[in-house]
Amino acid sequence: MTLSKTKRLLLGLTAVSGVATIYYENNVNRAQNSWTTNYTPSTFAKWDDNWDHRSPKFLQNTKGGKLSESDENKLNEQKEKKPRAFRHIILIRHGQYNLSGGCDSERILTKLGRLQAECTGKRLKELNLPYTEIIKSTMIRAQETGNIISDFLPKLPIENCDLLREGAPVPPEPPIGSWKPENYKFYQDGSRIEAAFRKYFHRADPDQEKDSYTILVCHANVIRYFVCRALQFPAEAWLRLSLNHASITWVSITPSGRCILRVLGDTGHMPPSYITSS
């Protein structure tokens, strides 16, 4: 076989080291860097620094027209006053509950669900973090789970929030055949769950001096949506994540607004026989 035939038949030779790939095209050798060195992220992968609309560098004149020297100085001071504290959001899914209940008041925790909540309450106590508050969805299974956790953290302030109730955030992608709520559910629930995200997920106020640790006791769909939104993943990916009952998910928001997923759906603090997801 001639050299020219060899070049026509050989489509490419990839270096074993992964450093370079050599292509034979028109009898001309061209070496290119591997994807790891010349990779350019897509526009959709770029991080939005002002995702919570609280980035100091994006502060603008909201009064319109030219500012007075005094107002301009105040605006510049606000831009220079940057957050210093972390906001930690610890998301707890409720424990296993009675699926046969006809309404929310009947969908109470099972015996196992209560044991799961006790394990999670004990785990949160053992972590001994300086928790700021515990906020519970107003659905009965989240209320019961939160109450059990509160027994282990008795001094922690408690609030209730309707925005954290379970629902259908957005139509999932890919579609799941076994999960098909009516379209009006997305329309009705989506804006509420998004409002909950905007309420609880944002960088610290510049006046916040210490790191905060907020516990949200809510639901699988809500938590999965929150995680996707916080990491700036497509919101439609929420149903690709799986969460066990009474699991711990931990998202940290840095002073610069970056979001870090520290834990997703952790149930390592439970005996294996306690772990369930549905």
| Domain positions in the chain | 3-38, 43-80, 87-274
Q: Would you place residue 138 in the very low, low, confident or very high pLDDT band (cuts 50, 70, 90)? A: very high
Question: Across-strand partners of 33?
Answer: 20
CA distance 262 to 145: 22
Mean pLDDT, the chain, as a whole number? 85
Neighbouring C-beta atoms of residue 250, cutoff 10 Å: 18
Whether the per-residue pLDDT at 177 is higher than 50: the answer is yes
| pLDDT at residue 104 tops 80 | yes
Report the pLDDT value the prediction gives residue 252, as an integer from 0 to 100: 98
Could you tell me if 118 and 148 are in contact, meaning their C-beta atoms sit under 8 angstroms apart?
yes
Model confidence band, residue 180 (pLDDT cutoffs 50, 70, 90): confident
pLDDT the model gives residue 204? 96
pLDDT value of position 231: 97
- What average pLDDT does the segment 38-43 reach? 70
DSSP 204: P
CA 146 to mean position of chain CA atoms = 20
Is pLDDT at 35 greater than 60 in this prediction?
no
Q: 3-state DSSP call for residue 124?
A: helix
pTM given for the model:
0.81
Per cent of the chain over pLDDT 70 is 77
- What confidence tier does 173 reach under pLDDT thresholds 50, 70, 90? very high
Residue 7 DSSP class: H
Burial class of residue 266 in the structure, from the number of CB atoms within 10 Å of its CB (0-12 exposed, 13-18 middle, 19+ buried):
middle
* Other Cβ atoms within 10 Å of 228 Cβ, number: 21
pLDDT for 9 equals 45
Q: Which of 36-50, 65-79, 86-100, 220-234 is least confident?
A: 65-79
> Average pLDDT in the 99-125 region?
97
pLDDT in tens, 65-85: 565 556 555 555 555 678 999
pLDDT at position 185: 84
Residues in contact with 151: Cβ distance below 8 Å, sequence separation at least 6, in sequence order: 121
Total Cβ atoms within 10 A of residue 15: 11
Which CATH code of 3.40.50.1240, 3.30.530.80, 1.10.10.10, 3.40.50.150 fits the domain covering 87-274? Answer: 3.40.50.1240
Digit-coded pLDDT (tens) for 185-197: 888 999 999 999 9
Q: In 20-139, which residue ranges form alpha helices assigned H by DSSP?
A: 35-38, 69-80, 111-127
